[in-house]
Structure 1
Amino acid sequence: MLKSDFAALAPMPDDPILGLVDLFKKDPRAEKVNLGVGVYLNEEGKLPLMACVEEAEKRLLARRQPRGYMPMSGMPQYCAAVQRLVFGKTNPAVLAGRISTVQTLGGTGALQLAAAFAHQFLGVNASVVSDPTWGNHISILKADGLEVGKYPYLSADRASVDFEAFKASISALAPKTLVLMHGCCHNPTGLDFTQDQWREVAKIVAEKDLLPLLDMAYQGFGSGLEEDAFAIRLFTEEGITFMAATSCSKNFGLYGERVGALHIVTDSKKEADVVTSIMKRIVRQEYSNPPCHGGQIVAEVLCDEALQASWRAEVDGMRTRIRAMREALYEAGKAEGEDFSFSVKQHGMFSFTGLSAEEMDLLREKYGVYGVRNGRICIAGLNTKNVEYVAKSIAAVLKTRA
Structure 2
Amino acid sequence: MLERLNPAAPDALLALIKLYAADPRGDKIDLGVGVYRTDEGETPVFAAIKEAERRLVTSQASKSYLGPEGDMGFVEGLMPYVFGKDDPSMGGRVQGIQTPGGTGAVRIAVALAKAAGITRVHLGVPSWPNHAQILADLPLEMAPFDHACADGTANADAVLQVIRDARAGDAVLLHGCCHNPTGIDYTPDQWHEIAAALAASKALPIIDLAYQGLGFGMEKDAHGLRAVLAAVPEALVAYSCDKNFGLYRDRVGAFYAVAQDGSQLPAIMSNAAALARANWSMPPDHGAAAVRLVLEDEALTAQWLDELGTMRRRMRQVRDRLAAAGRVGTLDLTALGSQNGLFSMLPLDKDRIARLRSDHAIYMAGSGRINIAGLTQGNLDKFIGALADVAG
Place the TM-score, normalised by the shorter chain, in its bin: over 0.9
Partner of 1:134: 128
Distance change >3 Å, CA 12–CA 381, structure 1 → 2: same
The CA RMSD over aligned residues, in Å, is: 1.7
Question: Could you tell me how far 1:27 is from its partner in structure 2?
Answer: 2.1
SS at match of 2:217: coil
SS at match of 1:186: coil
SS at match of 1:226: helix
Residue 97 (1) aligns with residue 75 (2)? no
SS at match of 2:174: strand
SS at match of 1:221: coil
CA deviation string 1:308-365 (max 9, x = no partner): 1111111111100000111223345669896421321211111122222332222223
Residue 28 (1) aligns with residue 24 (2)? yes
Q: Distance in 2 between matches of 1:362 and 1:211?
A: 44
Partner of 1:256: 249
* Alignment check: 8 A CA contact 1:342 1:352 kept: no
Unaligned runs of 5+ in 1: none
TM-score, normalised with respect to structure 1: 0.93
Partner of 1:317: 310
Q: 2:38 aligns with which of 36, 39, 42?
A: 42
Q: Distance in 2 between matches of 1:65 and 1:362?
A: 55
Residue identity matched to 2:11: D
SS at match of 1:47: coil
* Alignment check: 8 A CA contact 1:100 1:275 kept: no
Segment drifting more, 160-169 vs 103-112: 160-169
Distance change >3 Å, CA 167–CA 338, structure 1 → 2: closer
Q: Distance in 2 between matches of 1:364 and 1:142?
A: 32
Residue identity matched to 2:173: L
Residue identity matched to 1:130: G
Q: Distance in 1 between matches of 2:354 and 2:265?
A: 48
Partner of 1:153: 147
Question: Could you tell me how far 1:206 is from its partner in structure 2?
Answer: 2.1
Distance change >3 Å, CA 136–CA 45, structure 1 → 2: same
Partner of 1:109: 104
Partner of 2:213: 220
Partner of 2:182: 189
* Alignment check: 8 A CA contact 1:100 1:273 kept: no
Partner of 1:169: 162
Distance change >3 Å, CA 368–CA 333, structure 1 → 2: farther
SS at match of 2:145: strand
* Alignment check: 8 A CA contact 1:131 1:153 kept: yes
Partner of 2:78: 82
In the comparison of the two structures, how many residue pairs are matched? 392
Residue 71 (1) aligns with residue 64 (2)? no
SS at match of 1:391: helix
* Alignment check: 8 A CA contact 1:175 1:210 kept: yes
Question: Could you tell me how far 1:93 is from its partner in structure 2?
Answer: 1.0
CA deviation string 1:31-78 (max 9, x = no partner): 211111210001110101111011101111121432111221110100
Percent of residue pairs identical: 37
Q: Distance in 1 between matches of 2:157 and 2:326?
A: 31
* Alignment check: 8 A CA contact 2:360 2:386 kept: yes
Partner of 2:372: 379
Question: Could you tell me how far 1:207 is from its partner in structure 2?
Answer: 1.3
Distance change >3 Å, CA 338–CA 163, structure 1 → 2: closer
* Alignment check: 8 A CA contact 1:101 1:264 kept: yes
Q: Distance in 2 between matches of 1:89 and 1:330?
A: 36
Distance change >3 Å, CA 117–CA 337, structure 1 → 2: closer
* Alignment check: 8 A CA contact 1:33 1:370 kept: yes
Residue 267 (1) aligns with residue 250 (2)? no
Question: Could you tell me how far 1:16 is from its partner in structure 2?
Answer: 2.8
Q: Distance in 1 between matches of 2:94 and 2:154?
A: 31
Q: Distance in 2 between matches of 1:304 and 1:282?
A: 32
Distance change >3 Å, CA 13–CA 368, structure 1 → 2: farther
CA deviation string 1:97-125 (max 9, x = no partner): 211211111001101111111112x1111
Partner of 1:395: 388
* Alignment check: 8 A CA contact 1:212 1:242 kept: yes
Question: Could you tell me how far 1:236 is from its partner in structure 2?
Answer: 2.0
Partner of 2:10: 14
Q: Distance in 1 between matches of 2:305 and 2:224?
A: 20
Distance change >3 Å, CA 18–CA 211, structure 1 → 2: farther
Q: Distance in 2 between matches of 1:379 and 1:240?
A: 37
Q: Distance in 1 between matches of 2:106 and 2:383?
A: 33
SS at match of 1:214: strand
* Alignment check: 8 A CA contact 1:336 1:392 kept: no
Partner of 1:55: 51
Q: Distance in 1 between matches of 2:93 and 2:380?
A: 47
Question: Could you tell me how far 1:174 is from its partner in structure 2?
Answer: 1.7
Distance change >3 Å, CA 193–CA 200, structure 1 → 2: same
Unaligned runs of 5+ in 2: none
Distance change >3 Å, CA 29–CA 263, structure 1 → 2: same
Q: Distance in 1 between matches of 2:311 and 2:24?
A: 30
Question: Could you tell me how far 1:250 is from its partner in structure 2?
Answer: 0.4
